[in-house]
Structures are given as structure tokens and as C-alpha cells.
Structure 1
């Protein structure tokens, strides 16, 4: 029997990426969608034949025909609805950031453990082979000793004034939206957590960060990063060692922003290039999640990993001033 999914909410990202990914994933099926606006279900019904549409979230959670839920709701609703879904006996894949402060993970992890269900943050990059390969190369010493990481992620949504990323009450801001990726990239590949934030600079509009620059010291390397909702599209991560460097030129929106690519240079004029033009990281995420839920297989980014990333974000916020989540 297919692993049966329901989605809480019919937002753009669920419609364009995660809904189709659930439908395409081997052994998985999108069977339910909760939305109070029936017309919003139509694009989902176009690819998910027989989709059951629920008029509210609780009705979907009460359905015995759904094994897992995907939660793409605004950031401030992630913790309560993840816990509610776990208590309803559902496995839960929740969009990032799953929480707005690291200490909120206590309730999430406790709810997961009490329910016996699988719960995770939707960090799709952890499932892409470019990150698995980068981790393997860096940790095996392919670039020598890792000394520095540069990570950049930007887009410009200045004209989209109604976007929830501009709403401080809903967990808006660039760090919550895309800072999670630059922090996670460094942590995933290196296997380390930061000791200290040495720079935290932000520009804000309507009390949310629209430009953030930060620097961090890890046990064996330094990191510098910039994320912004006000600059032209750009994304890149470079891992720089004393005997080479490794670059991911499309690390976050693989095959959407550009073709996912890894470049390794270990001598002047000597480069190795690897590309993954047909990999869908959202499909891989769904398949890995279902495998863990059904068999207990090791998961690439459990809640404990996500807590570490949120702790790093907390450190960045606190190095600048009051934490936006209080």
C-alpha cells in the first residue's frame, strides 16, 4: 500500500513543488488536501486523481486514510500544528523553519517521541546527492584542511508587499527564510557547530531583516555568509581548504535556479566537475521521509539536526540585538 499524504493548506510552494513531489515519489500518494477555499484545490486535483478535499485542518488530521501530513503554513504556525498532527497520530514533514527559537524544539521532540511517529523539518538540500558528495569529499580531506566557508543566498521580493516574509508576526525575514540554508549547508558538510558569531549585521524593513551578513567561528574553520530579500538572485557555497576548494554553484534551488553542480579544484588548472541535471530533491525528501516512517531507517536531518541550525540562527539574532521571536 502506498504511503498516504495530506497537505495542510494550498499555498504556492505546495502547489508547485511539494504536492507534485509527493505524487511523483515512489511508494507515496497524495490523497488529501485541507483548504477552506475549494477553488485552491483545483490545481492539486489536476495531478492527484481522487484527491479528498477537507474544509479545515482538523478534519484532515482526523482522517484514518492519511498516514502523514506536509505542513507549508506560515512560520509561526509550524510548532503548534506539528504537535497537533503528531498527537493525531500522523507522521509530520513541516516546512522550514519548523521553529522560531531553538528551545521550541523541546516540545517538538517530546511530541515526536510520545507519538512514536516520524517528524522532521523539510530541509530538502540534505537529500540532494550534491550535499552527500560535498560532505564525503570535504570530510575525507579532498581539499585538505577546511579553513573557510562562504555562503550566499539572495532574491528580491521588494515589490511583493503582501508576502508573509514581510510580516514579523508570522516569522518573516530573510534569515528565517533562507539563512536556514546557508547555516545548514556549513553544518551538513563539515559536521561541526559554531562556537561564536563574530559579526551580525542586518538591514530591516517593517521589523524583519531584508539583508543580513554574518560571520561565525567553528571549531576548525571560519564562515562568512550573506542572505537577502533585496538583492538579485544568487546562490553559492564554497568550502575552502589548504589544498583545494569545492564549490556548489546551485546549492539550494537545484535545477530551478540553475543545474546543480559541484566543482572541485585541488591544483592550479585541475578541476573536477559533477552535475545532477535530473535530480528532484523534493521527491528524494518524500521518499526518504516515508522510508524512515515505515522502517525506522536513519534520516539525513532529524529534529536534533534542525535544532542545531536554529541554535545558530538564534546566535546570529542575539549577536545583533533582541531576538525577533522574543
Structure 2
């Protein structure tokens, strides 16, 4: 693999235009080379920051482009598996938006394809690339708060007015749990290294998609609770509560957008320590780690096996509904 990874994006999604496109453009060792979209007009927002962008008018044309090394897939959820498979068949490395699949067993197929092809295939689960999450894992696993007893999380926003949004449509794999539940569930797994043994769930649906969920789970050595919603005032927080302290992340999922990334550590004697992580962009870090894995063979922070574990927990939650 050459020093610079040439990237293509399948689809002119708003998220790709506002976040991942600029991140690929800004990342060291990466070049945003091409975009596949049905209209040149849809590419204008990308060309504003990447003027030399090559535009393909179909996804297949981009996949056939020999100048593209890796593709980023921000398509609606129900299309992820199909286009990951097509990209691998075309010999491209793949970074696909979460959830990379709608069922855990579908990820088994992708793992098999990855292994057979020798290509890097991964879910765009950006938070584990941010040092606040690596630090949270270190604090919890080294006993900084004693024995971990309970984890709880919140991730909410309100998009009820945006009825055309793919998150509000069942036919596109919508719902709050596939969109943001992956963060409250997966981050607990990432920090603790444990998997849920059983779950209970109370889920409210509108138009066939989950819009509010309250999930409780028993992990091997701690209890867990999370609220996820597309119908509540915005809130983000993850808390790891031990026998000798608390680790709390105040902007766990949208650092620098929701708020500055901070870890607040409460310890005995009313001691409080705040660790701040200003200015870091987890999307850029994600792209750089992807390229590092390709060039140097470094372990990728979010392999498909990890993504499968989060999807397995989501499957458990829907089964418990």
C-alpha cells in the first residue's frame, strides 16, 4: 500500500459532506479522491473543500476506478451489507457507517469476506479512536475507581419534525437504537471488555421504528442501564460507577459538537479531577488509524469482531422487547 490512501465515498450523504468527507480530506496519509453520486449538483458541497474531487455518477463506476484504494459507505442502514460486499468484490478496503449490518449473523459473513480477501473491512465506530475513551478504559480496568458496580448512559436528541429522515423510516433500517444505541451499548463493552448476559427493554415505537428505549442489562460483574431516544431534548453522558469512585464522560459521543470532551473522576474525600481533550476530531483519528493499519499492519481499534458484539447486544434488546 502506498503512503497515501486514496478514498472514494459512495453517496453524497449530509453526514459525509459535513463530517467524514472533511475528515478524510484533513487526515494525514489520506486523500479524498472521488465521490459517487447521481448528480454533479450533489457534489458541490464536497468540491467546496476538495476542488479536485473526481465525480462518478454511479456507485459501480467508483468501485471500478483503479485509482481508489478504500471506500467510505454512508448509505442508509439497509444498504450497508450489500455495498460492503460489492466493494470487497471490487478489491477495495471498506469503512462503513454504523450499524454495518442489521443482524449479528450478517457480520459473520463480512468477517469471512474480510479474512478471505485480505482487505481491511471495518465499521465507522469513531468514538473508540478518541483518547477520552482509551483513557476511560484505562481508568476502569486499572482499578482507579475500585470495583466497577454499575454503568449507565444517555444519548438523546429530537428529530420528530424531520419525518423524511431515514432514521424515522422503517424501510431504511431506521430507529434510535441502530443510530445511537450502538454508542451507549458499545462504549460500555469497549471500556469493560465484558458482554451482557441478559437484558430487559422497554421500547416505544412510532411508524415502525424505535424512538425511545430504556434498556437494563446484567454483565458478568456489573449492572447496566441506558436511555436512547429520538424524541427527547439532547443529552449525552456515560458513567462508570465503582466502589471507590466514578468516571463520567460529559461529551462521550459528539466531542466538540455537543460539548468539549471531558472525563470527570470523582474519588474519596470529595476529590474531583477533570481531564480535558480539546480540539481532537475523532473522525480524523479514525481515518488515520485506518491508514496506519493498511500501511504498517497496526491493529485496528474497532475490528468487525467488536462490531459484531455490539450488534449481538442490539439483537438481544429487540428480542427482549
Is TM > 0.5 for Structure 1 vs Structure 2? yes
Query: Which residue matches 1:234?
Result: 235
Query: Which residue matches 2:245?
Result: 244
Q: In structure 2, list runs of 5 or more residues that go unmatched.
A: none
Alpha-carbon displacement from aligned partner over 1:26-63 (angstroms, at most 9, x marks no partner) = 01000000000211101111111311000000000000
Query: Which residue matches 2:224?
Result: 223
Q: Distance in 2 between matches of 1:75 and 1:62?
A: 23
Alpha-carbon displacement from aligned partner over 1:68-121 (angstroms, at most 9, x marks no partner) = 000000000000100110110000000000000101012111111121100100
Query: Which residue matches 2:24?
Result: 22
How many residues matched? 319
TM-score by length of 1: 0.97
Query: Which residue matches 1:209?
Result: 210
Q: In structure 1, list runs of 5 or more residues that go unmatched.
A: 321-326
Q: 2:227 is paired with a residue of what secondary structure?
A: strand
**1:288-299 counterparts in 2 under 5 A?**
288-299=289-300
Query: Which residue matches 1:283?
Result: 284
2:147 corresponds to 1:120: no
Q: Distance in 2 between matches of 1:7 and 1:104?
A: 22
Query: Which residue matches 1:310?
Result: 311
Q: 1:30 is paired with a residue of what secondary structure?
A: strand
Aligned structure 1 segments of 4 or more residues deviating by more than 6 angstroms? none
Q: Distance in 1 between matches of 2:48 and 2:179?
A: 29
Q: Distance in 2 between matches of 1:45 and 1:73?
A: 19
Q: Distance in 2 between matches of 1:190 and 1:39?
A: 46
Query: Which residue matches 1:324?
Result: none
Shift of 1:186: 0.3
Q: 2:48 is paired with a residue of what secondary structure?
A: helix
CA RMSD of aligned residues (A): 0.7
**1:107-186 counterparts in 2 under 5 A?**
107-186=109-188
Alpha-carbon displacement from aligned partner over 1:138-161 (angstroms, at most 9, x marks no partner) = 000000000000100000000000
Query: Which residue matches 1:5?
Result: 7
Q: 2:9 is paired with a residue of what secondary structure?
A: strand
Query: Which residue matches 2:37?
Result: 35
TM-score by length of 2: 0.98
